[in-house]
Amino acid sequence: MTRLEQALKGSALPAGDAGAEVATGRLLARAEAEGLLDVAFTTIESPFGELLAAATPRGLVRLAYDMTPKETIIEELAATVSPRVLEAPGRLEPLKRQLDEYFDGRRRAFELKLDWRLTRGFTQRILRETAKLGFGQVSTYGEMAKAAGSPRAVRAAGNALGSNPIPIVVPCHRIVRSGGQLGGYAGLLDSDIKRRLLELEGALGPSGQAKLF
């Protein structure tokens, strides 16, 4: 439970048989009415396990695989964005719906506002360029470094993509090595998730390497 939840539960929520659903609804309503909800988060089921999603009034700020404990991510959001963090699934419903459609093969582009505040400088330039890649379109680390204005910074481009705070929606899985080898993903040396996402988008050739155009 976040500090915001503890404070509001102590002052605003009905006791007794009001029920958890009613209590949660009143908690959220009061938080929003008083401007106390800066970061809304929820968990979303995916083919790759549970995802933790967080959004601010600016847009989606974090989407994380379950490799990192939920509590750690929430603490990081409280420290870097705002301590006013609260579980609010309704705020993330558009993301959930669009992710479900994407995983089912019924969506080729996300229609979501993004909050880039967890990135800056070269990393943000790389990720903004990555966000321009369309469904099934594959690029290389070198090409992304060039697009971000630093053509020699190939390794730095890889590090920037490995620290992407909004994977899938900002499609760092579409960036591969110059020969078509998949390379790392989400900070790992290799990941089956990257391969499966590229398979979903029809971006892998018979050899298992990415199709570079």
Q: Same domain for 7 and 97?
A: yes
Q: Same domain for 131 and 179?
A: yes
155: domain range?
Answer: 121-200
Nearest residue to 74 via CA among 13, 3, 144, 8:
3
- Is the confidence at residue 194, as pLDDT, over 60? yes
Point out the domain boundary residue: 71, 103, 135.
103
pLDDT of residue 191: 78
Q: Same domain for 7 and 80?
A: yes
Distance in angstroms (rounded) separating the CA atoms of residues 66 and 52: 7
Q: Same domain for 21 and 60?
A: yes
Q: Same domain for 125 and 96?
A: no
**Catalytic residue positions, numbered:** 172
pTM: 0.85
Nearest residue to 185 via CA among 130, 135, 148, 134:
130
- CATH number where 161 lies: 1.10.10.10
Nearest residue to 74 via CA among 8, 162, 2, 163:
2
The pLDDT tens digits for 96-132 are 999 999 999 999 999 999 999 999 999 999 999 999 9
Q: Count of domains in the chain?
A: 2
